[in-house]
Each structure stands twice: as C-alpha cells, then as structure tokens.
Amino acid sequence: HGVLDDVEAAAACIFQNGITAIVGIPMQVSYLARMKKELFDTHIKKVLLSTDYVADALVKSLSRNGTCQVFNHYGMTEMGYGGGVECACLSGYHLRENDLYFEIVDPITGKVVEDGTYGEVVFTTLNRQAMPLIRYKTGDRARFLVETCACGTFLRRMEKVRGRIENTLSVEGHEITLRDLDEIFLAYESLMDYRVECYDPNRLHVRLVLDKNTDAKAFQNALKQELHVRFQSKFDFEIEIEEDDRSSKITRSMIKRKIHDCRQGAKR
C-alpha cells in the first residue's frame, strides 16, 4: 500500500485484501485505528511500528486487550533503516549486531554509561563501505536491557527508545518531554492528534484534535485535572480544542512530531 496518507483508502485496501498485519508510523496507525475501529475488531492482528518512538499508551490502545500484537522497530536512515526489532515477547529491540555496534553514552561527556543506565544511543557501522559511521550520535534516549530475553536470543537487547533528546523542553527549571505528554494524551481514545507549542517562559499551549462525538468541555476538565496532578502545577497549560473534521487525510505533523519551542532565543 505504501505510506499511509488517506485513512479511507487504506481501510478499503485492508478490507478488500483481507490484510491482518500492517507496518506504519505510530501516530498514523493510531489515527487509522481511532477513525476505523472496526478494522482492528475484525482484521488487524499484528502491527509493526517504526520511524517515531512509540508511547506505551499508544501500544496499550492499539493492542486492544491483547487481541492485536504491537511490535516496535527501531531504525533511522543513517543505520540503513533497520537497527533492531522486537520479537514475539515484545520486550525490547533485538539489535542488528552483525552490522551495527551500539553504545549508550552520556550525552554531555560522550562516555559510555553502565549497562542498564539511560543515555544517548550511539552506533558504529561495522561493514559499510560507502558511508561508514563511527560512534554516530542518534539523539535518541534509551538503555540496554541486561537480562536475556525469554526467546533466548544472543542478540543484545535495547529498551524501547524514550524519545529524542531534543524533544525535551526546559520550562522554569523543570523538564517536560513529548513522551510525558504522549503518555497522558494518547491514553484518551477520543484524541486524534495534538500539537504542543511554548511561547511564554512557563506556559505550554496544547492544541488537541478530538473526535467530534466527544464532550469537549468534559474532556478539557478531565485533562486539566490530570495535568495538574501529573505535573503538580509546575507548568501552566493552555488547552485549545479542535473538532476533528473527519478528514481521512493524514497530516505531516503526525509523521515527524516535536515540541515547538517558539520562545525567543530557542533553537528551532
């Protein structure tokens, strides 16, 4: 089918061809699953997610009480796409060690951290001739898992990437990541998409796209309460709600997501 850009066309393709497994970008697949719930009731039993990190809330939502297996893939263009993938135990990527040598380092000092400690993922290509990379910094935050996977693989295992280091925003001395927000927002089944911008020093502007059958006022109150509890009022959230226009088109913002730091002097 190719890249998912139109939910209606993708759903028709899945129905017509009796497809049971799909590969896609997390927010795109989430949009498909939320727009076309029946697809996941009757057809899709396996999903492989790639390109962007994957929030646990998204996996939980897609797995539908275990009726659908959600696999995570890790890779980037510089790795030659594939870096690692989860086995059926769904507990961390099994790394492609025959081609890539992975390290986890302290992002400031560049020194290798102890196994099991979080840091920045760095990799070296082992047998590439055209564009070899040595200790290439990915900007991704993760850690190695020290225990052997239940499948018994000898390959090194890495916990699911926890998001890009650059998607961390420091507001009034407190840090907030896109992942933190994903875990909260994506747990709401009626949320189709969202975007976060920061203009003022301590205020985050959140634009939410909700399913049109949602009670926006009740949603906003519930979310405000949850944000208050989760962040103990360290951040001031301004919430704007847009009704989903039921467009079957998938937007660019669902592909490469980021926190938009629009404060003066912020790196764009």
CB of 95 to Zn ion, least distance (A): 11
Tokens of 134: 């040595």
Q: Nearest Cα to 198, choosing from 129, 148, 153, 259? A: 259
Return the SS3 of 212.
Answer: coil
Applying CB under 5 A, does 54 fall inside the site for Zn ion? no
- 146 forms part of the interface with Zn ion (CB under 5 A): no
Task: Report the number of secondary-structure helices (H) and strands (E) in the chain.
Answer: 6, 16
Which residue in 9, 12, 21, 89 binds Zn ion (CB under 5 A)?
89
Q: How many CA atoms lie within 13 A of 104 on its CB side?
A: 21
Stretch that binds Zn ion, among 89-97, 110-118, 122-130, 202-210 (CB under 5 A): 89-97
**Is 87 one of the binding residues for Zn ion (CB under 5 A)?**
yes
Rule CB under 5 A: say whether 95 interacts with Zn ion: no
**Sequence-distant (≥ 6) Cβ neighbours of residue 3 within 8 angstroms:** 25
**Using alpha carbons only, what angle is made at residue 39 by residues 18 and 56, rounded to the nearest 5 degrees?**
120
Interface stretch with Zn ion, choices 95-103, 123-131, 144-152, 254-262 (CB under 5 A): 144-152
To the nearest whole angstrom, how small is the minimum distance from the Cβ of residue 182 to Zn ion? 25
By DSSP bridging, strand 144-145 and strand 136-142 are unpaired
The reply to whether 149 sits near Zn ion by the rule CB under 5 A is yes
Q: State the number of binding residues for Zn ion (CB under 5 A).
A: 5
Cα–Cα distances in Å, from 72 out to 25, 43, 85, 232?
10, 20, 6, 32
Four-CA torsion 145, 181, 64, 31, nearest 10 degrees:
-120
Least distance CB 151 / Zn ion (angstroms): 3
Closer residue to Zn ion in complex, CB, 110/116: 116
**Choice between 155 and 184, CB closer to Zn ion:** 155
Of 18-26, 82-90, 162-170, 245-253, which segment contacts Zn ion by CB under 5 A? 82-90
Q: Which of 3, 12, 151, 222 binds Zn ion (CB under 5 A)?
A: 151
Please report whether residue 262 would count as binding Zn ion according to CB under 5 A: no
In the complex with Zn ion, the residue whose CB is nearer, 154 or 213, is: 154
Residues binding Zn ion (CB under 5 A): 87, 89, 149, 151, 153
